[in-house]
Amino acid sequence: MKLILAASAVFGVWLGWRSLGWPLIHDAPLMHYVAWLIAQGAVPYRDVFDMNMPGVYLIHWAVLSTVGAGDLAWRLVDLAWLAGICGLLFVFGKGTGDRLAAAAGAILFALYHLSGGAWRVGQRDFLLCLFLLGGALGVARAIERGAALQPLVVAGLLLGAGMTVKPNAGIYWLMCAGTAAWGAWREKRSLALAAGVVIAAGLLVPGLVFGWLAWLGGLNSFHAIMFGYVVPLYSHVGRIQLGQAISWYRNGPALWSLLSVIGFLGLLGPTPPGATTRRMLALLGVGYGWLHFSLQGKGWEYHLYPLALFICALVPFAMTRVASRSGFTSSLRRGVALAVFVATVVTLGAKGVDAVDAGWVAEKSRRVAALSRDLGPLLRPGDRVQVLDVTEGGLHALFKLGVRQPTRFLYDFHFFHDQDDPRIKLLQGELVLGIQSERPRAIVVMRDTWNRAGYERIQEIPGLTSLLDRAYTLAVEGDGYRIYAKRADS
């Protein structure tokens, strides 16, 4: 087992080393751009129409303010965050009494993350994992120490911080509060006090974050976006089932079959002495991870992070030898788990090698560089540019150039679903009115975008095509983008 773990760890280090050259790509530059806008005085939600939680912006703002906006800086932040999660997994699994088994869970999660490629670097659901597992560990330690309150406070604070990254984390927060109450009941202590500490502490960080948002003047806009757009409209766009989502990704069916087996093995047999709470919290985490993915429903691979995290938290329970009446059964379970672990590492290895130098990442980076080169000479200091895009590089180019938009719209997919709904019509009208009023120096249309590809899609936004014909000219036809420059007489 030591040799297998050592070889797996070495492979993980190799993947980490090879990943140092990964560029800022896909979603990360979008959140960097929002953080930069906030630093420039923009108010989240009022001046930036986005579906993410404010905690995400604060994390990216902290990164930009401390280590900068470079590709390597973001890569190192991601690796440090991964090290923190793996450290927590090791400490969590060490409760089984088997350090090697605890290391196995941490190594497996590291390989899971590194095998995902550049587009999963710093994803919000990955960032959330640190808060979820920290909360679980705090509750476990509180119960193991006889319903101690201080670890419950820490757990609540971490879980509350997680809710400012993804609101779905509130489900696991309540699960942890219930587990804390169960632990207090076992010790014949106050159930209400234990659960109340986790709940009260969990409200502190969201209270501070949303207090900050209210102070800036963005709370009403946040409410309007979440309950006037996200919940009634965006929540049903592009929904797919888990099985379909898994089939999208390289080695997906094989990988998740193996993870399911090793997670199930972690639930078989007797629990190691003193580790009952930890296995319970890991099992609850698996249930939460399933809900976390299902409630979002978009099928994106990074939404599976919490599920993968808590399966990895069950790995030590599958690989630990527990003394019982049937030592053979325990040894058999451990042997099967070790074989499944090896198969999972091999599967992740194949996925990771394929993702290290993914061609689409280099292609998108070239597109961002080309767009920046084409757009830069058209602009003067203070000029604004409207981008119609999602993740194809348009906003990334604006971030590199330090250019703001004339409207609050980061993405254009809002305008192409539920088009008969008056709320979507209002958003379309706001976009066109904003462009008419500000007359940005350029308008960039990316060809490929989420949920509606092709340049012709802009014809579906009333008034936009006529505005382009009247006041703009096609200045650049690039590889996957068009730049419309403002006419001198407009």
Domains in the chain: boundaries: 2-356, 360-486
DSSP label of 22: P
Q: Which residue has tokens 């751009």?
A: 33
CB 70 within 8 A of CB 56: no
Four-point Cα dihedral 40, 79, 345, 259, nearest 10: -50
Query: Averaged over 412-418, what is the pLDDT?
Result: 94
Q: Decide if pLDDT at 325 tops 90.
A: no
Collapsed DSSP state (helix, strand, coil) of residue 55: helix
For residue 348, which amino acid is it? L
How high is the pLDDT of residue 262?
A: 96
How high is the pLDDT of residue 323?
A: 60
The closest alpha carbon to 89, from 99, 78, 80, 76, belongs to 99
Q: Decide if pLDDT at 15 tops 80.
A: yes
Residue 124 binned pLDDT confidence (cut-offs 50, 70, 90): very high
Q: How many percent of the chain have pLDDT more than 70? A: 98
Q: Which residue has tokens 């560029």?
A: 23
Residue 324 binned pLDDT confidence (cut-offs 50, 70, 90): low
Residue 455 neighbours by CB distance under 10 Å: 14
CB 330 within 8 A of CB 269: yes
Token output for 88: 């927590």
Rg (alpha carbons) of the chain, rounded to whole number: 24
Beta-strand (E) ranges in 107-263? Answer: none
Query: Averaged over 317-321, what is the pLDDT?
Result: 89
Q: Determine phi and psi for 215, rounding to 5 degrees.
A: -60, -35
In whole angstroms, give the CA distance from residue 258 to residue 415: 40
DSSP label of 321: -
The closest alpha carbon to 25, from 359, 356, 361, 352, belongs to 361
CB 478 within 8 A of CB 368: no
How high is the pLDDT of residue 245?
A: 77
Token output for 447: 């060809």
CB 172 within 8 A of CB 285: yes
